[in-house]
Amino acid sequence: MDPEGQEETRDECDDKQALVLCHFLETNAKQYNMVDKNVIEIGAGTGLLSIVASLLGAYVTATDLPELLGNLQYNISRNTKMKCKHMPQVKELSWGVALEKNFPRSSNNFDYVLAADVVYAHPFLEELLATFDHLCRETTIILWAMKFRLEKENKFVDRFKELFDLEELSSFPSLDIKLYKAMKKNRRSA
């Protein structure tokens, strides 16, 4: 809620979580080195997180729904042109839709999957989980900032932990935001 008692909009939440994750990437650049890493951001929104990862030296693919790509492309181009080692790419990604066609597993070599405010009151949580699963190899690291608002978020985390090992990296109680690191569970030993 904002100081006026109004509910936050999706964009307001996204910015706070993206800022938390951007700050984390900048202050932990040695441990989570982005230089020359293949990074995909899901639900990129305004592109802030993709911009920061690009400025930190990553090969970035920023993704979102088709109707958001124009603004995303504009923001990324405006803030990275002539400033980055690798020019970021913008691609359509509708969670759970045509994943193998648009992001073939055989060519998915993402070192990092970045996500900020992708879990909120929407009906696509299973599709989101399938998307995380599809984009990750055993060595891919997910860095994910999440705001807890409703019981639905807790249920998603429980489902997520069935497929991924999840570690809380930081907590920001005043914002109700947690920062997570996750990797695919080793299914061969299961």
Cα-Cα end-to-end distance for the chain: 42
pLDDT at 186: 81
pLDDT at 152: 61
The reported pLDDT for the residue numbered 13 is 44
Which residue ranges make up each domain of the chain? 10-184
pTM of the complete model beyond 0.75: yes
Assign domain 10-184 to its CATH superfamily: Vaccinia Virus protein VP39 (3.40.50.150)
Q: Which residue matches tokens 């997520």?
A: 160
Q: What is the reported pLDDT for 15?
A: 81
The pLDDT, as a whole number, for residue 6 is 35
pLDDT value at residue 68? 94
Using alpha carbons, list the distances in angstroms from residue 107 to 65, 101, 140, 186.
21, 11, 13, 20
CA distance 117 to 158: 17
Q: Which residues of the chain have pLDDT under 70?
A: 1-14, 121-122, 149-153, 187-190
